[in-house]
C-alpha cells in the first residue's frame, strides 16, 4: 500500500493541538481589536486652545483705502 506524505501528515495531526491553535489565534485577534479600540477611545493629546485657524490668529490687519 502506497501512502503519500500529505496523507501521513493529515493522519498524524494532533487534534488537541488544533484546538489550542484555534484558541490562541482567537485570543490574538481579540487582543488586536481591543488594542485598537483602546487607542481609538483615548482623547487626543493636541492642545486645542493653542491651535486655531488663520482668522483666529492675532495679526496686524490693515485696510488700505
Question: Tens digits of per-residue pLDDT, 22-56?
Answer: 999 999 999 999 999 998 888 777 666 665 555 55
Cell of 50: 493653542
Name the more confident of 5 and 2. Answer: 5
Name the more confident of 5 and 24. Answer: 24
What DSSP line would sit under 7-64, residue for residue?
A: HHHHHH--HHHHHHHHHHHHHHHHHHHHHHHHHHHSPP---TTT---TTTS-------
Amino acid at each position: 500500500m502506497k501512502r503519500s506524505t500529505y496523507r501521513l501528515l493529515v493522519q498524524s495531526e494532533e487534534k488537541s493541538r488544533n484546538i489550542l491553535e484555534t484558541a490562541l489565534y482567537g485570543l490574538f485577534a481579540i487582543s488586536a481589536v481591543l488594542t485598537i479600540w483602546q487607542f481609538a477611545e483615548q482623547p487626543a493629546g493636541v492642545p486645542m486652545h493653542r491651535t486655531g485657524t488663520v482668522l483666529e490668529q492675532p495679526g496686524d490687519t490693515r485696510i488700505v483705502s
